[in-house]
Amino acid sequence: MNKTKYSHAENDKILDIWEEFSIKNGDGKIERDGVAYKGCIHTFPGADEKVYHEREVGNEESAWNNSDKRILFVAKELNDPNNPYDSRVVITYDPKNGIAPTDKFLKSMLYITKGLMESTADKVAEFNRDESMDNIMSTWDKSAVAKINVKKQPGGSVSDMAEIDSYMQTYRDLLKRQLLLLNANIIVCCDNKTTILSTIKQLVYPEALQLNDEVWYDECSKTLLIESYHLSAWTKSYEDKYNRVISNYADALAKINA
């Protein structure tokens, strides 16, 4: 397993090559992703005259490299056609100025991150629908969290899995390089058992063993691969999405420690 410490600069080198390759292939510009920014909030007007909020770079590189739990959420693609924005900047919270996460995917990430941070082999952190956003964001800002998409060119509201699979194969070497640089030890695959987990396992963790219906474990790197619902799914509640990941995570820890 790669021992290189994560940095935004090294991650951006991979993304620069990825974008050059993508443009050459006729796939266009790509989004930027990786370890989530945890710095101050920057507010600015968009070209569409709406007001936008972004996090700036903070101390997240050090937090990531020194954390015992490095949580990576892996999704399919941005659902914002023709807008390959930087997804590292998006989770912002400032109640005094009325800024709070509203996107279903992002809120699901927040809940699940809190559950992963608070759960152990002996304790499943229960979902609390009344948990204050202050508490949730406090945990988020102290956690080492990254989020990437396997297809970095934005898509539409519904993902074409044949296209996603084709993209993962075309850019597999770059995806592997990004995964190795991140070196996460908890990887949540947000595609409800399609192909993301199997591709990551094949690329980086071929020796991972299945611990339960939803979790695989690579003993050499001490990495857990966890299946999840798509975190934007309207048919599943925040509690459903949370419970599927957290209950299986705690079960896997108990089996590893048995």
At 140, the pLDDT band (50, 70, 90 cuts) reads: very high
**What would the mean pLDDT of 206-227 be, rounded to a whole number?**
97
Percentage of the chain surpassing pLDDT 90? Answer: 79
Q: What is the pLDDT of residue 2?
A: 54
**What would the mean pLDDT of 182-196 be, rounded to a whole number?**
91
Nearest to 200 by CA among 213, 212, 183: 183
Angle between helices 161-170 and 196-204 (to 10 degrees): 10
Q: What is the pLDDT of residue 156?
A: 61
Q: Is 218 helix (H, G, I), strand (E, B) or coil?
A: strand
Percentage of the chain surpassing pLDDT 70? Answer: 97
Nearest 5°: the CA angle 12, 18, 20 is 105
**For tokens 């590893």, what's the residue?**
256
Q: What is the pLDDT of residue 159?
A: 65
Residue type present at position 112: I
**What would the mean pLDDT of 7-13 be, rounded to a whole number?**
98
227 and 252 Cβ atoms separated by less than 8 Å: no
114 and 125 Cβ atoms separated by less than 8 Å: yes
Flag whether pLDDT at 1 surpasses 80: no
153 and 29 Cβ atoms separated by less than 8 Å: yes
Class of residue 38 by CB neighbours under 10 A (exposed 0-12, middle 13-18, buried 19+)? buried
Residues paired with residue 189 on neighbouring β-strands, in sequence order: 74, 227
How far is the C-alpha of 114 from the C-alpha of 118, rounded, in Å?
A: 6
* pLDDT, averaged across the chain: 93
Nearest to 8 by CA among 85, 73, 64, 70: 64
Q: What is the pLDDT of residue 83?
A: 75
pLDDT tens digits, 34-92:
999 999 999 988 877 888 899 999 999 999 999 999 999 999 988 776 778 899 999 99
Q: What is the pLDDT of residue 45?
A: 87
How far is the C-alpha of 171 from the C-alpha of 7, rounded, in Å?
A: 21
- Classify residue 37 as left (phi > 0), alpha (psi -120 to 50) or beta: beta
**What would the mean pLDDT of 173-184 be, rounded to a whole number?**
98
Residue type present at position 230: H
